[in-house]
Amino acid sequence: MLMNIGALESVKLWPCECLIFHDIDLLPEDDRNLYACREQPLHLSAAYNTFNYKLLYEDFFGGVNAISVGHFQRVNGFSNKFWGWGAEDDDLANRIKYHGLSISRNPANISRYTMIRHEKEKPNPHRVETLRSGQNSYTSDGLNSLQYRVLDVQPRRLYTWIYVELMKV
């Protein structure tokens, strides 16, 4: 839900054609890995140091992604049912494929990232169940079902803080 809100509010503040979703604990290693959209959604972080620079699985879409605003709207954004850590990026990958798009990647030697060491968040215990059940709601759960109200917007030096109230659906 918060990823959808961030995307919608960002586009209102700074009209653009490309959205970048970026895990805060990942640092790019190669400046040839351009943060820009392409014809298809782009998985920028295919090779992490913590995974021995190997792609975890074929449909892996976690970490850092670039997706056009048009494609994000077409797939109905992220599901609003995921909370905490885990599987929201897998659901987005499934939505991308469901809507006839594909995931593109740069070569592994370019899409390398270092994960900053930190205490791992506990995974949401319902993430797999939510992922499985989400296959029936790509068109009804996402941007089109989002209900929130912006309470405050505070531009800061390196980011903009957007405080929202979430409405029950």
Domain that holds residue 52: 2-166
Which is nearest to 71 in space by CA: 44, 98, 47? 98
Residue 45 is predicted with a pLDDT of 97
Structural domains of the chain, count: 1
**How much is the average pLDDT of 8-32?**
96
The mean of the pLDDT values for the chain is 91
pLDDT at 135: 76
Query: Which of 66-75, 125-134, 141-150 is the least confident region?
Result: 125-134
CATH number, domain containing residue 19: 3.90.550.10
pLDDT value at position 51? 92
DSSP result, 98-110: HTT---EE--TTT
Average pLDDT (41-57) is 94
Edge-to-edge strands, sheet with 64-68: 18-22, 64-68, 42-43, 104-105
| Mean pLDDT of the 94-109 span | 95
